[in-house]
Structure 1
Amino acid sequence: MAWAEWAVGTGVADFAAEAYQHLVALTARDAAVRSGAGARDRVLAAAQEYAEEAGYWLARTGRHREAALALETGRAVGLTEALAAVSEGDPPDNGARYEDITAETGDGAIVYLAAAKAGGYALIVAARHDPQYINLPRLDRATVAALVGDVLPAQQPSTGIARMREIVPGRSRPTDPMAVALRKLFEDGLKNLVPGAGGRIVTLVPVGLLSLLPIHVVVPFPAVRYVPNARALGRCRAVTRELAGRDDTLLAVDVPGGHGAGPGGYLHHVARETAEVTRLWTGSPARPLHACTWAEFRAAADRHSVWHLACHGAAEPGSILDTRLYFADRHITLQELRRALRPGRRRLAVLSACQTNIIGSALPNEMVGLPSALIQIGFAGVIASAWAVDDLATTYLMAAFYRHWRREGTEPAVALGRAQRWLRGATWADLEALLPGVGPRDDAEYPYADPRYWAAFAYTGA
């Protein structure tokens, strides 16, 4: 670290690139050989900014492949180690090759996004050629840190709706912190990604503090997914290949009034949501579990490859293992979920609840949260939300998603994007045609055009 500090102080980009490149490699190896989660986490906590700085200085010297490798190596070190140990039985060395990244670009580009001290940047990897480097000087670490501080959820469970206005340049000025942050991300750099990234599905790997923001809302690609890193995407794809040809089995549960979720938090539409999900299901017959208890869910979970949970959720970004899902008899923390759920090859988990896609703010590069926990136990993909979501809007969104995925055979990440675009432009006639007799009408022509209704959910994995 002293070497890196000296190198940056010289102002010579080559010196800083070399020092930080070594730091990232050493940190990944050091964390892999530590005994005990506490010792490993101390190493990773000390290294939170190394990957972003390494990528920045390497890119400044024109070494774009090595910059992408630095971000790949320094991202989700613990998860990469755990996935490799489960798959191969041997501890990995956490080394990555550029070929590991390009191997996962068959259906679209992988976009690494990072905010270093001196400025932000993107590295777009497509096919086997060198990454495209895009300088985002206005998205430096201090700027992104300020945005994150404004939008992280409160510690108490929320049963309301995130207040967001349409995020379109030149239109009404948003006042909600989340909308302000997303507008700034778009206008200060992310709009520049459009020419460089393409493909059927664009894969986002936000690094460092950018991991704490729902970037998918302001990158106008038809279909977007997140992954912890390219190697994790490869593991998720291996699960989909293993499950190919087998009938998926669905476990759909709803909990209208979660135990301890607070007053005024009754979810009036989740029972209709799970009823529609099971109606649209293809494959092995399924029936929803209404007012599901933790014991009922745990007893049934191992027998199913798709989980749909419509319930309350609450995130604790400052103490991420205390993030909660609310069942009828009790709430379950992320810490308890990690201990209780058995590993197994499964296709998809849909967390149709508030704040289920929020990760820990202490170690953002480690992606500790519900999606990574489910990927670690064997899921190929996870759908989860970035803020408090509206009960009725989510019912429409999920019905549209399952229609695209199960009835039309669309890949899940693409199906989610199509469902979100549909809900954004749906009229009352469209909504009534999908789910007759569900919601009250108002005077709006497009009642769910506002991003707060459709944009919270994101896809992680394959």
Structure 2
Amino acid sequence: TQYYLGALYDCLLRPLEGLVGCRRLVVVPHCALHYLPFHALYTGTQYVIEQREVAYAPSARVLQQCLALPPRPAQRALLLGVPDEQTPLVRDEVITLAPMFPYAETLLDEHATQAALVARAGSADILHLACHAQFRPDNPLFSAIRLADTWLTVRDAYSLELSCMLVALSACETGMNVVSPGDELVGLARGFFSAGASSLLVSLWTVDDTSTATLMVHFYSQLRSGSSPSAALRHAQCALIQDLPHPFFWSPFVLMGRW
């Protein structure tokens, strides 16, 4: 794995080493590069995330919209969890995260319905959805997150009225999109950005239940201590590298939008 990540680094980022002397790299990919974890590229001695923060944006226009939204403190959180046989640790994840916020509401199991989400999401600074997800490359508008009573599709996400500083989609492939010929992305990220989120924490592939729960604890601990979302994710991923060094475990999640 490191060999290929190193080859990609040599091709994509090493020529820019003289220009990237900053603490944060913001990537606006093109075409197939939307599927690439730039933060996991390997320099030969380190992963990129060990050198600097990395944030992503689907386009310069979307990034501009996210940065124009007024910032909000991470005070009020809405956390939904729908565990199943594939994601048994979802309940523990939500219960562990809730005390990290001054005000947190948890919706677990049968209480995590679409109606409950719609009614409460608008007042949340942070929306955290931990559940099963499904990416539909054949019909990306029907990519969806499994709630207690239904699947929340991209179309449904469009209709949410959000003012969140962060939406975290703690599930498999929530950051996957179909890239149209005009480099327009269609997937869950587009739906939540359109609904008003300024930052998204989403995954590029199928995630491991245990490592995801651990990553989220590290991430929110840093966020509550005053770190920016991109700095919090960098800290969480670097912490995970120590125990789970293979990129499959520590690098599926990316921060999109406001960093």
From 250, 265, 281, the equivalent of 2:77 is: 250
User: Which whole-Å CA distance do the structure 2 matches of 1:374 and 1:287 have between them?
Assistant: 20
Q: Within 5 A, what are the aligned runs for 1:315-330?
A: 315-330=135-150
> Taking structure 2 as the reference length, what is the TM-score of the superposition?
0.88
Please, which of 132, 135, 155 is the counterpart of residue 335 of structure 1?
155
SS in 1 for 2:139: helix
Report the CA distance between 1:183 and its aligned residue: 5.2
SS in 1 for 2:198: strand
Q: Secondary structure, in 3 states, of the residue corresponding to 2:176? A: coil
Task: Give how far 1:270 is off.
Answer: 1.0
Q: Deviations over 1:338-392 (max 9, x none)?
A: 2x312x4321000000000011133471122222321222111000000010111
Larger radius of gyration: 1
Partner of 2:126: 306
For residues 394-414 of structure 1, the C-alpha deviation after alignment (integer angstroms, 9 at most, x for no partner) is 1100000001111x2000111
Q: Once the two structures are aligned, what percentage of the paired residues are identical?
A: 30
Contact 2:124 2:163 in 1 (8 A): no
The whole-number CA distance in structure 2 between the counterparts of 1:234 and 1:198 is: 23
Structure with higher strand content: 2
TM-score, structure 1 as length reference: 0.51
Kindly tell me the number of residue pairs found equivalent between the two proteins.
249
Provide the C-alpha distance between the structure 2 equivalents of 1:272 and 1:324, rounded to a whole number of angstroms: 22
CA deviation after TM superposition for structure 1 residue 199, in Å:
1.8
Letter of the structure 1 residue corresponding to residue 232 of structure 2: A
User: Could you say which residue in structure 1 is the equivalent of 2:199?
Assistant: 381
Assess, with a 3 A threshold, how the Cα gap between structure 1 residues 190 and 405 changes in structure 2: closer, same or farther: same
Q: Aligned runs of 1:239-278 on 2, under 5 Å?
A: 239=69, 242-244=70-72, 248-257=75-84, 264-265=85-86, 267-278=87-98
Output the amino acid matched with 1:322: F
1:421 aligns with 2:251: no
One-letter amino acid of the counterpart of residue 377, structure 1: A
Per-residue Cα deviation, 1:417-453 (whole angstroms, up to 9, x for no partner): 110000111xxxxxxxxxxxxxxxxxxxx3x221111
Of 451, 455, 458, which aligns to 2:247?
A: 451
1:198 equivalent to 2:21? Answer yes
Q: Give, as a single letter, the amino acid of the residue that structure 1 aligns with 2:125.
A: S
Which runs of 5 or more structure 1 residues have no equivalent in the other structure? 1-166, 170-179, 258-263, 426-445
Greater relative CO, 1 or 2 (CA 8 Å, sep 6+):
2
- The answer to which structure has the higher helix fraction is 1
How far is 1:247 from its partner? 6.2
1:198-231 deviation per Cα after TM superposition (whole angstroms, max 9, x unaligned): 3222100111222233333216142100113334
Which amino acid in 2 is paired with 1:273? E
Distance 1:334 1:229 in 2: 18
Letter aligned with residue 424 of structure 1: I
Q: Give ranges in structure 2 of 5+ residues lacking alignment.
A: 43-47
Partner of 1:412: 229
Q: Hey, what's the Cα distance between the residues in 1 that align with 2:182 and 2:175?
A: 12
